[in-house]
Structure 1
Amino acid sequence: MYGQRQLAYAPTPYSYTPTSNFSASINLDEEVKLSATNAERDLYESLAEVYSIIITLDALEKAYLKDSIAEGDYTETCSRLLKQYKSNLQGADVANAFVDLETFKLEWEMECPRATERIRVGLPATVEAPTAKAKSSAAGSDNANTGLVIKATEEFITLLDAIKIEIREKDMLHPILVGVIEAVNSITDREFENKGKIIQWLITLNQMKAADKLSDDQAREFQFDMQQAYFGFKAIL
């Protein structure tokens, strides 16, 4: 008369005993190694270091924007992080695994726009666009300011000479161009002809590998832009 009442839930199979075919075949107390060789271990450590540098750099940029860190401390820390970032990507294996910043960010689901911009420029914000306070302390007396002008002129001439003798490698041109930017920004934040080109070329070099070279067309354009920037710089002195 009465049918069997259906349970409102599925019974738990307490009586089920797994067969030996499904038994664990590994020792759960054994340490799991992510790498089989020393080379793999070094690669993973370098990539982990790059990851931590990007995260730290993003936090540093936020702190600087909020005035939570002194300019001097920011400049020193940012410069060190950028150098460490570049140093970790020097090895071919690391560079190949890294691919590029956007690929790395996508793979590890990283949201770090401020660090991305700082790496793209390759200079601390205080060097890229120094504050009036920083320039005032750097300039000091008239004699000191004259010395800075001489240094900036020498940096420009060194860069132009390097291009004239057909130096094309990124790893040789980049530090000279950084020297130009730092010298100019220690004197003025005024705009002058082709000043923006200096940063644009720095970004172009940053996106190249250390052994990459400028093409003949790029070198010619680079030389023209830097000559115009030099003339523009002298015009405002």
Structure 2
Amino acid sequence: MEVKLWNDKREREMYENFAELYAIIKATEKLEKAYVRDIISSSDYEIECHKLIAHFKTLASTLKDTVPSIERFADTYKMDCPAAINRLVISGVPATVEHRSATAGSATTSAAIVAECVQNFITAMDSLKLNMVAVDQVHPLLSDLSGSLNKLTILPPDFEGKTKMKDWIARLSKMGAADELTEQQARQLHFDLESSYNSFMAALPNDGT
């Protein structure tokens, strides 16, 4: 006999988000162990860790009413993931960024801005996937992203991400707060974000700073 976990679309989305949160925590735990055991390079670890932290923050914000405590969520589902909880909930930045903070102030500043840019890129893309397409939802995300990109001095003034975000912000500013992007607009924005993110990652120096 098949047992249904949900009774309506809202419940189904909630359980799907629970599953994604579970997967992010598990993946982070494995990534942390791989880094500690020197199975993965520092640069690869940092890139993947930035992505997981950004995904986690977006999802945790979406689930804040149903999952007020990540630690309790982990206990409920018997997840033995102390390294992931520390990285996602307590630290909020990759171990490599933490380590640099003790040795190089200027490098840390740059690394922190890179981390901020990555987080803002992924938060914006994740929000579109979650159908958060109202102007008052999208505009702040793009403004945060644009601001973080402008703080990173290694990027040229005509960097693709800067110009595209500026164009989108200008377009959104002409719309009402409650207006929503059409499906075509949302798809184009996601494409522009993904393209800009790839260009951003390609523009970073090899040492990640």
Which TM bucket (shorter chain)?
A: 0.3 to 0.5
- Select the structure of larger CA radius of gyration: 1
Superposition TM-score, scaled by structure 1 size: 0.43
Report 1 or 2 for greater relative contact order, CA contacts < 8 Å, sequence distance ≥ 6. Answer: 2
Superposition TM-score, scaled by structure 2 size: 0.48
Structure ranking higher in helix proportion: 2
